[in-house]
Structure 1
Amino acid sequence: MTKEGSPAVPFGGELLSTSVKKVLLDRIMHGHYKPGERIVELQVAKELGTSQSPVREALRDLAAIGIVTFHSRRGARVRLPTSKELADISLVRSELDALAATIASPLMDESILAELRTTFEEMQAHQAERNFVAMTQADARFHRIIATTSANEAIQHVFDQLEPFARTFITLTLPRVDIGSIIAEHQTILEALERRDAVSAAVAARTHQRNVSALFENHFQAELLRDTGGGGAA
């Protein structure tokens, strides 16, 4: 029996382990699997109607980006990251996103800008609804559009490695943190891109991620420990 509210399995059109990975990520972000909780391969396989092999592969992928710890004998558990880990990732993202904005700025056309505007509006709407999972998904889409527009495969690869880690765990602390100013910073990035102002876009993107880094450093650990009663597996 699946946990109540678990998302439907989007199998089809991609590797089975990739689909399982997406489901597990969504479940972690929705709080169905909490920090320190064990994810049982056999149970997940039964819930999703697969063998254990794609579940194990998905868990190994999640372990590679630090979202779970995976041991062949003890199974997998959702990690409780440190605030420094999350802050460090956002600090790296600050330079990555600045570079992406610099390269992408002159390549922006009206269709891409329209997509960014729509995504920013969705972000604001989800924030107002306090739907933090959907809000972080829109946030990730906003930054991914810029990374993709840069047409730099190295930027896109590093972005895809770093983005799920922070996005997964930030949803656990957002309900108690005022992030209005963080969300509003996307407007500054967007306006610079609309002007094709590469310098201003880079500054805005860098500043935004540095502020996210400070959010993790100052708020994440205390809030998450409060929710989990100080528990969690390292």
Structure 2
Amino acid sequence: MGSSIAIINRSLHDQVASRIRDLIIEGSLEPGSRIDELQMLEELGVSRTPFREALRTLAAEGLVIVRPSKGSIVRKLTQEDVFSMLEVLGSLEKLAGELACERASDKEVEAMVQLHESMMECYRTQDRMPYYKMNQEFHSRLAELSKNETLQEMQSNIQARLKRIRYIGSQTPESWAGAVADHEEMILALKGRDATRLGKAMVAHLKKTWDRVKDGI
């Protein structure tokens, strides 16, 4: 009995964390703003325990700062924070791309192609949040295909902190089209197992991401 309750609670906690994360990513909860606990509890229809657990999860991801007895706030990143994280992420994803070309199975590459095609369908229908979530998954799965756990951990840590930043990187039609073109290049390189080409594509993509987001920070 106890284990089933734990599973239900974990599921609720994950749902609450996911909803608050989306509000942060979309900008409904603005960077630097205080999270109104009573209002959020009412909106989400949950009790304090799963809500506070969710905030701790988001704090571990770097999206929220939990301040005991002062309330929690949405973490606000400076331009310097974002630039330094994108700089490191560019090098990590360059290596991930190079290793993936060498180490991924044909089945794993085909799964990435299918994910890319699903992203392109969302782009065609201008369905932004599903596109964004698949985009995050694409970068995470590329790191996994490196078969290097240290790289995966570092990539995951930085990507989590940049969730809102990556979202605003496709706010204008031009920037979204540019990101899509980057992904077309990435998937061609991965299909061809061209490690050098994919490595360059990953670095270029992260540099362009900085250009797309810097004025919105």
Short-chain TM bin: 0.7 to 0.9
Q: Distance in 1 between matches of 2:153 and 2:26?
A: 25
Q: Select which of 159, 179, 193 maps to 1:182.
A: 179
Q: Distance in 2 between matches of 1:35 and 1:210?
A: 23
**Equivalent residue, structure 2, for 1:192:** 189
Q: Select which of 108, 117, 121 maps to 1:121.
A: 117
1:57, CA displacement in angstroms? 3.1
Q: Distance in 2 between matches of 1:175 and 1:193?
A: 27
Contact preservation (8 Å) 1:41, 1:56: no
What's the TM-score, normalizing by structure 2? 0.82
Contact preservation (8 Å) 2:169, 2:209: no
Q: Distance in 2 between matches of 1:36 and 1:182?
A: 27
Q: Distance in 2 between matches of 1:215 and 1:88?
A: 15
**Aligned amino acid, residue 107 of structure 1:** R
**Aligned amino acid, residue 196 of structure 2:** V
**Aligned amino acid, residue 68 of structure 2:** S
Q: Select which of 139, 145, 152 maps to 1:149.
A: 145
**Equivalent residue, structure 1, for 2:4:** none
Q: Distance in 2 between matches of 1:88 and 1:61?
A: 23
Contact preservation (8 Å) 1:99, 1:202: yes
Q: Distance in 2 between matches of 1:100 and 1:13?
A: 35
* Residues 66-81 of structure 1 mapped to structure 2, 5 A cutoff: 66-81=62-77
Distance 1:31 1:12, change over 3 A: farther
Moved more, 208-217 or 127-136: 127-136
Contact preservation (8 Å) 1:67, 1:165: yes
Paired residues, number: 210
| Structure 2: segments with no counterpart, 5+ residues | 1-6
Flag the structure with higher helix content: 2
Deviations 1:169-214 (A, max 9, x none): 3334633362212221112221222122222221211221121123
**Equivalent residue, structure 2, for 1:231:** none
1:111, CA displacement in angstroms? 2.3
Q: Distance in 2 between matches of 1:89 and 1:195?
A: 29
Contact preservation (8 Å) 1:170, 1:220: no
Are positions 1:204 and 2:214 aligned together?
no
Distance 1:155 1:70, change over 3 A: same
What secondary structure sits across from 2:66 in the alignment? strand
**Equivalent residue, structure 1, for 2:213:** 216
Q: Select which of 163, 168, 176 maps to 1:167.
A: 163
1:139, CA displacement in angstroms? 0.9
Contact preservation (8 Å) 1:28, 1:34: yes
Q: Distance in 1 between matches of 2:163 and 2:58?
A: 13
What secondary structure sits across from 1:70 in the alignment? strand
Are positions 1:20 and 2:23 aligned together?
no
The CA RMSD over aligned residues, in Å, is 2.6
Give the share of equivalent positions with the same residue, in percent: 26
What secondary structure sits across from 1:191 in the alignment? helix
1:42, CA displacement in angstroms? 4.8
Distance 1:96 1:14, change over 3 A: farther
Moved more, 57-66 or 136-145: 57-66
Distance 1:197 1:135, change over 3 A: same
What's the TM-score, normalizing by structure 1? 0.76
Higher relative contact order (CA 8 A, sep 6+): 1
1:151, CA displacement in angstroms? 1.7
